[in-house]
Amino acid sequence: MWLEKGRATTETIPGKPHMTAAAVDILGRGWAASPGRIWLRQRENGGTATWRCVWEEPRLTSPIVSLSVDVGAVLAVTVDGGVVEGRLFER
């Protein structure tokens, strides 16, 4: 579910992964996580918002249960205490 300008909509992330954590950064971009993946929601040139996978590690099967996000930075923690930290560099 996404709330924007007072209107709630539902969205689906490609592949319909089992989402385990979500956050919104200061720019209003959505972040979501599933085991082994982190997704980012953003608008391209003011158009339709899309979700894209910005990080993937198939060997990480533990659910990500916490996301801390800032502009271009993310910190994720898994249920068993694993930590993923990274930066997003725009294309």
- Does residue 44 register a pLDDT over 80? no
Q: Are 65 and 77 in contact (CB under 8 A)?
A: yes
Quick one: CA torsion of 77, 83, 84, 87, rounded to 10 degrees? 90
So what's the pLDDT on residue 91?
58
Band (39; pLDDT cuts 50, 70, 90): very high
Pick 13 or 44 by higher pLDDT: 13
Give me the chain's average pLDDT, please: 90
Domain ranges in the chain are 2-87
**Higher per-residue confidence, 44 vs 61:** 61
Global pTM reads 0.86
